[in-house]
Structure 1
């Protein structure tokens, strides 16, 4: 399970390593272009039920921490799906990887 730290918050956002690796690619691309967007996800099973949304902005510090030292092989279709949603009004809705 990976973690993402956003802004000055010491509270980590826990996201599976594989999903976090794909999210990182899309987030880095958007921020490199100085584009803001939202990212939403459902809370992990061991957290209180619910979902969260972040407004991601290039001026706010962001750190990705991965449990696995080896990066996964990335699924181009999933990256493209996340990138497309990042450009939509609703922003990125991080869900399960579509392997089909």
Structure 2
């Protein structure tokens, strides 16, 4: 398990989810796009959901418990980026099956 430390709070995510969040969040922040990040609280930790405002002015730190970077699911990244543009913000959910890459035409 890893952590997303935002401002002075820590939120637990598995390393694979955190990797995808880091890529998606950094892409949005590089473009100066602010948004809500929302996820459900695991039933073992109670119930409900978190929603935090992601902004360039707030310190952001990802901590990974594993030493290897996770492989990237492009379908999941696309899903995170698309939901970030909605009023509810970037929605963290279950990882979708990765769609096969479309071969380039010559």
Query: TM-score under structure 1 normalisation?
Result: 0.91
Which residue is equivalent to 2:41?
43
Q: How far, CA to CA, are the matches of 2:73 and 2:2 in structure 1?
A: 18
Which residue is equivalent to 1:25?
23
How far off its partner does 1:48 sit? Answer: 2.5
Q: How far, CA to CA, are the matches of 2:71 and 2:78 in structure 1?
A: 15
Tell me if the contact between 1:26 and 1:82 (Cα under 8 Å) persists in the aligned partners: yes
Which residue is equivalent to 1:6?
6
CA RMSD after TM alignment: 1.2
- Matched pairs, number: 98
90-99 or 37-46: which moved more?
37-46
Tell me if the contact between 1:14 and 1:44 (Cα under 8 Å) persists in the aligned partners: no
Aligned to 2:22, what secondary structure does the other structure show?
A: helix
Which residue is equivalent to 1:56?
54
Greater Rg, structure 1 or structure 2?
2
Q: How far, CA to CA, are the matches of 2:71 and 2:28 in structure 1?
A: 21
How far off its partner does 1:46 sit? Answer: 3.4
Q: How far, CA to CA, are the matches of 1:73 and 1:16 in structure 2?
A: 13
Alignment deviations for residues 37-62 of structure 1 (CA, whole Å, 9 cap, x no partner): 00111113432221110000011000
